[in-house]
Structure 1
Amino acid sequence: MNETAISFAKDFLAGGISAAISKTAVAPIERVKLLLQVQHASKQITTDMQYKGIMDCIVRIPKEQGFISFWRGNLANVIRYFPTQALNFAFKDNYKKLFLDGVDKHTQFWRYFAGNLASGGAAGATSLCFVYPLDFARTRLAADVGKAGAGREFNGHHHLQGIIIYRAAYFGIYDTAKGMLPGNTSILVSWMIAQSVTAVAGLASYPLDTVRRRMMMQSGRKGADIMYTSTIDCWRKIARDEGGQAFFKGALSNVLRGMGGAFVLVLYDELKKVM
């Protein structure tokens, strides 16, 4: 096995393990975020049963569905996230070799920064092409909408735009910041940087993620049950009927969930050191 293949395998394993651990830890926050995000598009959650906010959702879930339901859809999420994050890290390091070959981070900072952004965005888009069906399954299970029907599973890869923005910020800003720090930077400082980066990346891409989840929720519906005819129609109707703030429903819980994303970045670096 050549050196490139071994390096890819190490990146894949380190990224996958760190992702699986972190996702299971923050699964309850993840489910609260997702329910708040898609409840308006769910046929199972009637208007009078919709959650009023994060605390209302946290209190009602164990009462109405049982405590263990906080982890509903987590297995599908881990199955999805292990290869997603593993591929993200593995592809990202390979894209960095392509975009940053010969670039000096001290004398060519903006090119270095742009290369990191491009590497992260390209890695996110490439990875989602492989694992989109698993992302779809996770959304449907966590929202618990019952039978999906006979509709097509893919709503189109225009959904890549949100992933590209998120991964570009998530990897690009973190790698740039980390690259400018001394090699003996403490794990606490690395985690604080990762936490800030994850929050910024999550908020920047959140409206796109909301639209993507809404479109997933109506898969399999027919006729009058179809709420949105296209992604553009979804954007328009959410803004018109629910207001601009609807694009950010669950965003606070998403920031809290970001602790897991920050943990992934730091744990990945630590695992790479021992591999």
Structure 2
Amino acid sequence: MVGYNESADHKVSELWQGIAGISSGIITRVLCQPLDVLKIRFQLQHEPLQRCSENYYWGIKHASSRIVKEESIRALWKGHIPAQVLSGTYGLTQFLSFEVLTKYVSKSSDRQLNKTGVHFACGCISGALATSLTMPFDTVRTRLVGQGEPKIYKGVFHAFTTMVRTEGFLSFYKGLTPNLIQIIPHTGMQFALFNLATEIYSSVIKTDASGKLPVIGNLVCGSLAGVGAKTAVYPLDLAKKRLQIQGFEVAREKFGRIRIYTGMIDCIRSTFKEESFLGLYKGLTPSCIKAMATSGLIFALYEEISHLFKSLKL
């Protein structure tokens, strides 16, 4: 169902494809938000993620228990409201634009195109559109997740109004350049790898008459696509997160050293120089676990919801 299929006996309308995208994004976010909180906390820590009294977080287990102890279990869902707005809007824009683009490309070409290549190109464009639209929610979410106690921001509305008043509207787009540079190939690879993985899975394991993969098949293929794409662009994701908290350093003082960057290149270069090559991959483990979970879930849910709408002939 992901991507236009001319031979399908019934095609789900764009409206219901958008609803499927929103639904899959929202459900996935509820389940995976704690992993996102851990990933962001690790990315924003300049000290090594090693067992040492000077380092605030050492690893997944230590960080989880410390956050729960100091900030309560609800802190694992910090920034959840803007994250849900982000996920719903992102899922709608990403899947809807991807479906429309693959349909347009398939119908406008007279020759047989490589499906994986088409999915990569359309995924790049859909990722750029979705990211540009949802960037303000991502920045607010990052700041809400990144702050400790006492809180600088009381909630989503307070964060929005404070940022506009003290830093201006453009503060919502801090880190946009590394975000777009990261998300364009990431989304393209995610859709392309998912298509490739499903083709391989279908050739190895028989599917039903409709060609529909079982839920476990979509989960496996989506997970592989998510991990592969995330690992390839991870340093850019780290740079984006660090740039998003520029001007917000006071809320980070208790977590360790503060660093100011002039831009994406300076952030990556300084991180490599001061924290080594591995510093560019801080938070990779929870990020990959999250990528496996979120990518697998969102593709599987999108497929299942789309097939439900297809069976209802919507």
Measured against the shorter chain, the TM-score band is: 0.7 to 0.9
- Aligned pair partner of 2:147 in 144, 155, 159: 144
SS in 2 for 1:40: coil
**Does residue 12 in structure 1 map to residue 18 in structure 2?**
yes
List aligned pairs for 1:34-45, cutoff 5 A: 34-40=40-46
Q: 2:131: which partner in 1? A: 128
Q: CA deviation at 1:59?
A: 1.6
In the alignment, is the contact (CA less than 8 A) between 1:34 and 1:143 conserved in 2?
Answer: yes
Return the letter of the residue paired with 1:189: G
List aligned pairs for 1:216-255, cutoff 5 A: 216-219=244-247, 227-255=260-288
Q: What are the Cα deviations for residues 129-183 of structure 1, in whole angstroms up to 9, with x where unaligned?
A: 1111111111111112625652233226422011112111111211343356350
Q: CA deviation at 1:116?
A: 0.8
Q: Which runs of 5+ in 1 are unaligned?
A: 1-5, 42-46
In the alignment, is the contact (CA less than 8 A) between 1:119 and 1:172 conserved in 2?
Answer: no
SS in 2 for 1:51: coil
Query: Could you tell me how far apart the structure 2 residues matched to 1:88 and 1:37 are?
Result: 25
TM-score of the aligned structures, taking structure 2 as reference length? 0.76
Return the letter of the residue paired with 1:63: K
In the alignment, is the contact (CA less than 8 A) between 2:17 and 2:96 conserved in 1?
Answer: yes
**Does residue 274 in structure 1 map to residue 293 in structure 2?**
no
Q: 2:103: which partner in 1? A: 97
List aligned pairs for 1:37-116, cutoff 5 A: 37-40=43-46, 48=54, 50-101=56-107, 108=113, 111-116=114-119
Residues 219, 94 of structure 1: alpha-carbon distance in 2 compared, 3 angstrom cutoff: farther
Residues 176-185 or 226-235, more deviating: 176-185
SS in 1 for 2:173: coil
Q: 2:241: which partner in 1? A: 213
Residues 256, 221 of structure 1: alpha-carbon distance in 2 compared, 3 angstrom cutoff: closer
Q: 2:254: which partner in 1? A: none
In the alignment, is the contact (CA less than 8 A) between 1:92 and 1:119 conserved in 2?
Answer: yes
Q: What are the Cα deviations for residues 27-47 of structure 1, in whole angstroms up to 9, with x where unaligned?
A: 111111110011239xxxxx9
Residues 34, 207 of structure 1: alpha-carbon distance in 2 compared, 3 angstrom cutoff: same
- Aligned pair partner of 1:265 in 273, 291, 299: 299
In the alignment, is the contact (CA less than 8 A) between 1:100 and 1:112 conserved in 2?
Answer: no
Whose radius of gyration is greater, 1 or 2?
2
Q: 2:174: which partner in 1? A: 155
TM-score of the aligned structures, taking structure 1 as reference length? 0.86
In the alignment, is the contact (CA less than 8 A) between 1:116 and 1:176 conserved in 2?
Answer: no
Residues 215, 78 of structure 1: alpha-carbon distance in 2 compared, 3 angstrom cutoff: same
Return the letter of the residue paired with 1:166: H
In the alignment, is the contact (CA less than 8 A) between 2:18 and 2:96 conserved in 1?
Answer: yes
In the alignment, is the contact (CA less than 8 A) between 1:191 and 1:266 conserved in 2?
Answer: yes
In the alignment, is the contact (CA less than 8 A) between 1:99 and 1:118 conserved in 2?
Answer: no
Q: What are the Cα deviations for residues 109-145 of structure 1, in whole angstroms up to 9, with x where unaligned?
A: xx32211101111100011111111111111111126
SS in 2 for 1:153: helix
SS in 2 for 1:26: helix
Query: Could you tell me how far apart the structure 1 residues matched to 2:198 and 2:124 are?
Result: 18
Query: Could you tell me how far apart the structure 1 residues matched to 2:69 and 2:249 are?
Result: 30
In the alignment, is the contact (CA less than 8 A) between 1:27 and 1:71 conserved in 2?
Answer: yes
SS in 1 for 2:213: coil
Count of aligned positions = 260
In the alignment, is the contact (CA less than 8 A) between 1:38 and 1:213 conserved in 2?
Answer: yes
Q: CA deviation at 1:100?
A: 3.5
Return the letter of the residue paired with 2:115: Y
In the alignment, is the contact (CA less than 8 A) between 2:222 and 2:300 conserved in 1?
Answer: yes
In the alignment, is the contact (CA less than 8 A) between 2:127 and 2:183 conserved in 1?
Answer: yes
Q: Which runs of 5+ in 2 are unaligned?
A: 1-11, 48-52, 154-161, 251-257, 310-314
In the alignment, is the contact (CA less than 8 A) between 1:103 and 1:112 conserved in 2?
Answer: no
